[in-house]
């Protein structure tokens, strides 16, 4: 009985199985001269060459993309290792018309073209590398927080609150949409949940309630924004990591978030070398990111710039008078100035003490009563990756702020009442997972780093 090996194992351990008859399974990446096959099975971006010397093997049905089972001898040649095929089994067949229109053809395809054939792009080296890095980061986030004694909480996808207090939400109903128009009043009592419901924009409020009993908690899952944002760093559905920690101050969440980022990037450099090497070469050729590896090393080795919102506004206006008013949010055009002109060092910037009028209701106010104990961590070319704050612990202050913002108190009274259990100091942050993956892989469009991107005008 011959033993099956995946191609990654064969490439890394070929000395152990050299001159043995083995089984490999994969799909045809290239087929040359009716003699040379290159096989891939997704375990690595490196193909395995197969030589067809046996005249009994029928080669007419072999096409690029077709799945095969190959029994053959692993041998060493001047070009490396290859398999001398004794027997080949073909699974199914290829639709020629579909193939001629597909990205399986051996030529360069733009990333916008790859997005048009989302199922097939998993077979490209580019997306193979991106997805493996994404997988690695996902696992390492859970590992890191588990080591730090955090408890993972599954917060609801469907709720009735808007934790951010801004932006559009995806509304959910079981009512007949044909009976609903802008002029009509919807009778929510006839709906499934007996109230207005929407897809979550954040799990923070729910995870805060878990913190009151568990101390150190986090949620990590998809969130949804219905804003019509057609940019290279926005999605309608994306993944957010949201830790919440009892007794943490602003300085503590800065330390935790920076250490987490460095841990993740250090681990990626160590464990995803094959993928990063490929992406480094790809970016040098097709993207503006010319040195991906050193850029990531900067994130680990250099101290991040820490600057107040007030100072940031002054620096921006010193560069270009009246480019931004105090109280405005820092947008993409301002980030470009900060990273290209003011701080051209290719390292993150931590901006703290944002005005309360541009931050959510739950953030604790500073003594000046106009700024919050908050941070944003901005990355070069990406923008905000992390946003966090100390949370308001006072029942009366939180209630007063909600009333002034005219937020529906009824929907979040359960959250306000948590303060009646004890005004426990606590802090937390949200990390945009997809933006982090985008930065680490060097991609300039966030739609290229998620398996099935959902954005305005595009859904499955």
Q: What is the CA radius of gyration of the chain?
A: 27
Position 431 pLDDT exceeds 70: yes
pLDDT confidence band for 34 (50 / 70 / 90): confident
Prediction pTM value: 0.93
pLDDT > 70 in the chain, percent: 97
pLDDT at position 166: 57
Position 161 pLDDT exceeds 90: no
Please tell me the least confidently modeled range out of 119-123, 219-223, 272-276: 119-123
pLDDT mean across residues, the chain: 92
pLDDT at position 165: 62
Judged by DSSP in three states, 409 sits in helix
71: tokens are: 């029994």
The more confident residue out of 64 and 3 is: 3
What is the mean predicted confidence (pLDDT) over 306-324? 95
Tens-place pLDDT, residues 19-32:
999 999 999 999 98
Residue 101 CA to residue 94 CA, distance in Å, equals: 12
Q: Could you tell me the CATH superfamily of domain 3-106?
A: Nucleic acid-binding proteins (2.40.50.140)
What is the mean predicted confidence (pLDDT) over 392-402? 95
Q: Write the CA distances from 84 to 16, 66, 72, 290, integer angstroms.
A: 17, 19, 5, 40
What is the mean predicted confidence (pLDDT) over 268-277? 98
Residue 90 CA to residue 69 CA, distance in Å, equals: 7
pLDDT at position 167: 65
- Sequence ranges of the chain with CATH classification 3.30.930.10: 123-448
- Sequence ranges of the chain with CATH classification 2.40.50.140: 3-106
CB 221 within 8 A of CB 240: yes
387: tokens are: 């946003």
The more confident residue out of 251 and 322 is: 251
pLDDT confidence band for 321 (50 / 70 / 90): confident
Tens-place pLDDT, residues 76-99:
998 899 999 999 999 988 887 887
pLDDT at position 51: 95
pLDDT at position 178: 61
Phi, psi of 326 (to 5 degrees): -60, 130
Which of 3.40.50.280, 3.90.550.10, 3.40.30.10, 3.30.930.10 is the CATH number of 123-448?
Answer: 3.30.930.10
What is the mean predicted confidence (pLDDT) over 416-433? 95
pLDDT > 90 in the chain, percent: 74
Tens-place pLDDT, residues 186-231:
778 888 888 888 999 999 999 999 999 999 999 999 999 999 988 8
pLDDT confidence band for 42 (50 / 70 / 90): very high
Residue 63 CA to residue 277 CA, distance in Å, equals: 29
Element housing 110 (H / E): none
Position 333 pLDDT exceeds 80: yes
Position 181 pLDDT exceeds 70: no
Position 175 pLDDT exceeds 90: no
CB 41 within 8 A of CB 6: yes
Which residues, 6 or more positions from 452, have their beta carbon under 8 angstroms from its beta carbon? 118, 460
pLDDT at position 179: 59
pLDDT at position 139: 98
CB 226 within 8 A of CB 403: no
265: tokens are: 């990037």
Residue 121's nearest CA partner among 459, 453, 457, 441 is 453
Position 446 pLDDT exceeds 60: yes
The more confident residue out of 170 and 163 is: 170
The partner residues of 40 in beta bridges, in order of sequence, read 27
pLDDT at position 112: 87
How many CA atoms lie less than 13 Å away from 441 in the CB half-sphere? 28
pLDDT at position 450: 95
What is the mean predicted confidence (pLDDT) over 368-389? 97
pLDDT confidence band for 183 (50 / 70 / 90): low
pLDDT at position 410: 87
The more confident residue out of 422 and 239 is: 239
CB 356 within 8 A of CB 405: no
41: tokens are: 């099975």
pLDDT confidence band for 132 (50 / 70 / 90): very high
pLDDT confidence band for 398 (50 / 70 / 90): very high
pLDDT at position 173: 87
What is the mean predicted confidence (pLDDT) over 318-344? 94
Position 364 pLDDT exceeds 80: yes
pLDDT confidence band for 327 (50 / 70 / 90): very high
pLDDT at position 184: 60
3-state helix, strand, coil in the chain (%, to 5): 35, 25, 40
On the 0-12 / 13-18 / 19+ scale of CB atoms within 10 A, 353 is buried
């Amino acid at each position: 009985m011959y033993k099956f090996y995946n191609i990654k194992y064969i490439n890394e351990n070929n000395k152990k199985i050299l001159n043995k008859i083995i089984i490999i399974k994969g799909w045809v990446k290239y087929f040359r001269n009716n003699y040379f096959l290159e096989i891939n099975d997704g375990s690595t971006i490196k193909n395995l060459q197969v030589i067809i010397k046996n005249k009994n093997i029928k080669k007419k049905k072999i096409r690029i993309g077709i799945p095969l089972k190959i029994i053959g001898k692993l041998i060493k040649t001047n070009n490396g290792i290859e398999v001398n095929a004794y027997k080949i089994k073909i699974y199914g067949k290829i639709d020629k018309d579909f193939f001629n229109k597909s990205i399986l053809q051996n030529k360069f395809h733009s990333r916008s073209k790859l997005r048009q054939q989302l199922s097939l792009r998993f077979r490209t080296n580019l997306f193979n590398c991106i997805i493996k890095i994404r997988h690695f980061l996902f696992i390492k986030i859970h590992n890191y927080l588990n080591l730090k004694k955090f408890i993972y909480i599954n917060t609801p996808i469907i709720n009735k609150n808007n934790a951010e207090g801004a932006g559009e939400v995806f509304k959910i109903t079981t009512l007949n949409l044909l009976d609903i128009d802008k002029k009509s009043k919807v009778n929510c009592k006839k709906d499934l949940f007996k109230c207005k419901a929407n897809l979550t924009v954040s799990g923070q409020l729910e995870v805060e309630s878990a913190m009151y009993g568990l101390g150190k908690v986090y949620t990590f899952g998809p969130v949804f924004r219905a804003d019509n944002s057609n940019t290279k760093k926005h999605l309608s559905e994306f993944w957010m990591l949201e830790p919440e920690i009892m007794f943490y101050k602003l300085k503590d969440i800065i330390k935790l978030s920076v250490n987490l980022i460095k841990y993740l990037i250090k681990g990626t450099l160590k464990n995803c070398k094959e993928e990063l090497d490929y992406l480094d070469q790809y970016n040098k050729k097709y993207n503006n990111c010319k040195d991906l590896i050193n850029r990531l090393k900067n994130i680990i080795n250099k101290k991040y710039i820490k600057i107040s919102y007030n100072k940031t506004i002054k620096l921006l206006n010193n560069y270009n008078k009246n480019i931004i008013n105090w109280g405005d949010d820092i947008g993409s055009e301002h980030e470009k100035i900060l990273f290209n002109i003011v701080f051209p060092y290719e390292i993150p910037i931590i901006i703290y003490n944002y005005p309360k009028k541009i931050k959510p209701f739950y953030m604790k106010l500073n003594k000046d009563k106009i700024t919050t104990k908050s941070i944003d961590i901005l990355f070069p070319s990406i923008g905000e990756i992390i946003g966090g704050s100390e949370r308001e612990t006072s029942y009366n202050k939180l209630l007063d702020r909600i009333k002034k913002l005219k937020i529906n108190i009824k929907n979040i009274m359960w959250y306000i009442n948590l303060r009646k259990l004890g005004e426990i100091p606590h802090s937390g942050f949200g990390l945009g997972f997809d933006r982090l993956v985008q930065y680490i892989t060097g991609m300039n469009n966030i739609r290229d780093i998620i398996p099935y991107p959902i954005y305005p005008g595009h859904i499955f």
